[in-house]
Every structure is written in structure tokens, then in C-alpha cells.
Amino acid sequence: MKHNDVGEPMEQSAAVDEVVAVKGIIQDQNPVDFYALGVAGCIDRLAAPLRRAGVTIHWHTPHHGIEISSAAAGLLYHVAQEAFSNTLNYANASELTIRLNAVYHGIQLTITDDGTGFEIHAAPSGRRHGFGLLLMSIAVHDAGGTVNIDSAVGQGTSVRVTLPLD
């Protein structure tokens, strides 16, 4: 298993400065290139604003490549985008761990932060809160996958998404 926990990008890229948070949403100003960077590389680029904010990023990925469809890669990328944006805007986290694993007939992405956490079953406190997680869950379920969000006040947050490869 590849393990990178020095808080540095998996691969250095001059274009990483083009990943920015616009109105609280992390966005890559360049087209996503899963073929050149792989899913993990594209997701890692999204972590640039977190690194600039002082969050240490830990990666756990298998050594071997897993072939997944572009639709699954895109969905995992957008899950990471939502989770990273929430970490940046609300969590006040100092560390974030990303796990990308092969599981029985699927692929699993787990993103865990050590931030403030939140009460999952509490009503959203504002007009714009909670919709990103809801839309993410709908998209994953529509693709035949599962979403597990685990959080508690003062305990951080973990988002785990499993997508089928069949």
C-alpha cells in the first residue's frame, strides 16, 4: 500500500496553483485528466487549497492500478470535491486522510478529517447547508453505490463512498 503522509502533493505540478476555492467550492481551473494523472492524482490536486490552509494530507492507496470507468472516476472526483470543500469551509481540521481501495467488485473512497464534526441528524442551520452532501448521496446511489457519512460534534467527519465496478 502506498502511504504518503508528509502533507505534500503526490506529484508536484506547477498547475496546482490553479486549484482554488471559489465561494467556498474547491475548483480545478484546468480540465480533469484521469488518463494522465489517474483518479488519485486528480483528487490530490483538489487538496491544494487545504494544503495552503495548513491541513496535512495523508494518502493510503494500493500499489496497483485499478481500471475504473470515466463515470466512476468522475463521481469519485466530485465526492472528493464536496468533502474537501466542506473540510475547508466548516471543519477547522488540521489533518485529512484519503483512502482509495479496491473492495469486492468495487472501489471505495474514504475521506476523514479531524475537524469539528457535526450532528448528522440535526436540521441544516442555513439555506445553503447540507445540499452538497444530499446531492452527492443521490448521485452515488443512482450509480449503484453506497454512501456512509459518520460525524459527531468534536469528533471529525468521515465520508465513505463505494462504487461497483461491474
Question: Binning pLDDT at 50, 70 and 90, where does residue 6 land?
Answer: very low
Q: Could you read off the pLDDT of 107-152 as tens digits, one per residue?
A: 999 999 999 999 887 745 555 566 788 899 999 999 999 999 999 9
Q: Is the pLDDT of residue 17 over 70?
A: no
Residue pair 27/20 in contact (Cβ under 8 Å)? The answer is yes
Instruction: Provide the Cα torsion 153, 95, 91, 98; round to 10°.
Output: -90
pLDDT value, residue 136: 93
pLDDT value, residue 94: 98
Mean pLDDT across the stretch 9-32?
64
* Spatial distance between the Cα atoms of 122 and 49, rounded to a whole number of angstroms: 28
Contacts (Cβ under 8 Å, ≥6 apart) of 16: 9, 45, 48
* Spatial distance between the Cα atoms of 43 and 34, rounded to a whole number of angstroms: 10
* Spatial distance between the Cα atoms of 21 and 122, rounded to a whole number of angstroms: 26
Q: Give one DSSP letter per residue of 82-122, joined into a string.
A: HHHHHIIIII--SEEEEEEEEETTEEEEEEEE-S----TTS
pTM of the model: 0.83
Average pLDDT of the chain is: 84
Question: Binning pLDDT at 50, 70 and 90, where does residue 33 land?
Answer: confident
Question: Binning pLDDT at 50, 70 and 90, where does residue 1 land?
Answer: very low
Identify which has the larger pLDDT, 22 or 72.
72
Residue pair 72/10 in contact (Cβ under 8 Å)? The answer is no
Q: Could you read off the pLDDT of 43-72 as tens digits, one per residue?
A: 999 999 999 999 999 999 876 677 889 999
* Spatial distance between the Cα atoms of 93 and 113, rounded to a whole number of angstroms: 6
Q: Which of 111, 103, 120, 112 is nearest to 162 (CA)?
A: 103
* Domains of the chain with CATH codes: 2-164 (3.30.565.10)
